[in-house]
């Protein structure tokens, strides 16, 4: 099962050149996950045909404004559009207070429940786990508490060998259990081992969003072999010192990390407003890690 990532905003804090602050939508089997929500995200969603009602999960990496100042507007609009279904929100603990305060002063009660899960500093754990997808968080290294997220599209388990199943007279009702790796005990007492009637299914797909971070290997184990990773590249490498001072990375550093992690593909974003032309980001990173893409807002990357 593929993962689709649609970039809504790939600029750093100051909006410029029609690039917007950070937001992206991860789609797994038509379940949509919003990752960060900079100012104007709801307008970018309209522009790129992302339907707000389809978003059931929102993840906020950290509380710098360019990653969440669009959240209140989106939550309010969802309410005005009559949403009633649960919304799952994950983010730093103070996010709850910020939302509650702004709803209270507006004398507004949203017509749908927000189920908030605090992501506390340094936390590394599974946040969502279903038969089809899972999400876990990991800490990155930024000026304030900040987390990345890994999205896993589960493959659907082992692949059946239909002829073997029929030959061994396994009832079709048991097939879902076979896909999950279970053995089958026949009525006549014969134990049929799972690997007699199935083979390994396609592997899971994994996509890692690394949020805002300086260059470090501290979370590289979360990126190991991922099918794609999105890593910030606020600057080019001639600004490596400035990048580190500001807890950001360069394009070359993002590529070095992708290579060291054995990632299959690198998506770059979070470009500083000082750069209008982004061609050099590709040149710099692809020299180190060839399968690099400089993301473009409105583009959907199939992973």
Per CB under 8 A, the segment of 42-50, 116-124, 149-157, 282-290 that binds a second copy is: 42-50
> Residue 164 and residue 178: Cα distance in Å, rounded?
12
Nearer to a second copy, 40 or 139 (CB): 40
Helices (H), the chain: 41-47, 71-80, 94-105, 162-167, 175-179, 194-197, 240-245, 251-261, 279-286
CB of 120 to a second copy, least distance (A): 13
Binding track over 139-178 against a second copy, x by CB under 8 A: ----xx----------------------------------
Place of tokens 């689709």: 4
Residue 70 binds a second copy, judged by CB under 8 A: yes
Evaluate whether 140 touches 128 at the Cβ level (below 8 Å): no
Sign of CA dihedral 230, 236, 237, 241: negative
User: Binding a second copy by CB under 8 A: which of 30, 82, 85, 97?
Assistant: 97
Per CB under 8 A, the segment of 12-20, 110-118, 191-199, 261-269 that binds a second copy is: 12-20
Nearer to a second copy, 36 or 284 (CB): 36
User: Binding a second copy by CB under 8 A: which of 1, 72, 114, 280?
Assistant: 72
The single residue of 36, 66, 212, 227 carrying the catalytic annotation is 66
Residue 46 binds a second copy, judged by CB under 8 A: yes
Residue 19 binds a second copy, judged by CB under 8 A: no
Site for a second copy in 99-128 (CB under 8 A): 101-102, 105-108
The pair of three-digit structure tokens given for residue 98, joined into one six-digit string: 């910020």
CB of 45 to a second copy, least distance (A): 10
What is the DSSP secondary-structure string of 143-203? SS--EEEEEEE---SPEE-HHHHHHTT--GGGHHHHHTT--EE-TTSPEEPHHHHEE--PP
SS3 category, 119: coil
Sign of CA dihedral 260, 61, 248, 219: negative
Strands 55-59 and 87-91: parallel
Confirm whether 129 is a catalytic residue: no
CB of 42 to a second copy, least distance (A): 7
User: Binding a second copy by CB under 8 A: which of 5, 13, 28, 303?
Assistant: 13
> Residue 26 and residue 7: Cα distance in Å, rounded?
9
> Residue 152 and residue 145: Cα distance in Å, rounded?
23
Binding track over 50-69 against a second copy, x by CB under 8 A: -------------xxxx--x
Q: Contact positions toward a second copy, by CB under 8 A?
A: 13-16, 20-21, 39-40, 42-43, 46, 63-66, 69-70, 72-73, 76-77, 80-81, 92, 94, 97-98, 101-102, 105-108, 143-144
**Which of the residues are catalytic?**
66
């Amino acid at each position: 099962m593929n993962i689709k990532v649609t970039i809504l905003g790939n600029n750093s804090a100051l909006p410029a050149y029609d690039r917007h602050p950070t937001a992206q939508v991860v789609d797994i089997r038509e379940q949509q996950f919003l990752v960060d929500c900079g100012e104007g995200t709801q307008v970018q969603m309209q522009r790129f045909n992302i339907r707000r009602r389809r978003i059931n999960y929102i993840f906020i990496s950290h509380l710098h404004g360019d990653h969440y100042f669009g959240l209140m507007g989106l939550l309010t609009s969802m309410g005005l559009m009559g949403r009633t279904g649960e919304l799952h929100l994950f983010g730093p603990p103070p996010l709850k207070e910020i939302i509650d305060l702004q709803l209270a002063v507006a004398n507004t009660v949203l017509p749908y429940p927000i189920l908030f899960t605090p992501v506390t500093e340094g936390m590394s754990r599974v946040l969502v786990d279903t038969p089809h997808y899972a999400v876990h968080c990991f800490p990155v290294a930024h000026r304030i508490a900040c987390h990345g997220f890994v999205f896993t599209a589960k493959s659907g388990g082992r692949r059946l060998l239909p002829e073997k199943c029929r030959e061994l007279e396994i009832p079709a009702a048991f097939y879902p259990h076979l896909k999950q790796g279970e053995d089958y005990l026949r009525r006549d007492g014969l134990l049929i081992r799972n690997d007699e009637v199935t083979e390994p299914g396609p592997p899971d797909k994994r996509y890692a969003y690394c949020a805002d971070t300086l260059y470090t290997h501290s979370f590289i184990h979360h990126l190991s072999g991922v099918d794609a990773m999105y890593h910030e590249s606020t600057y080019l490498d001639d600004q490596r010192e400035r990048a580190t001072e500001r807890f950001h990375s360069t394009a070359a550093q993002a590529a070095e990390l992708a290579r060291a992690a054995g990632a299959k593909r690198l998506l770059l974003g979070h470009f500083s407003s000082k750069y209008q032309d982004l061609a050099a980001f590709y040149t710099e990173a692809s020299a180190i890690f060839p399968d690099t893409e400089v993301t473009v807002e409105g583009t959907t990357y199939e992973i």
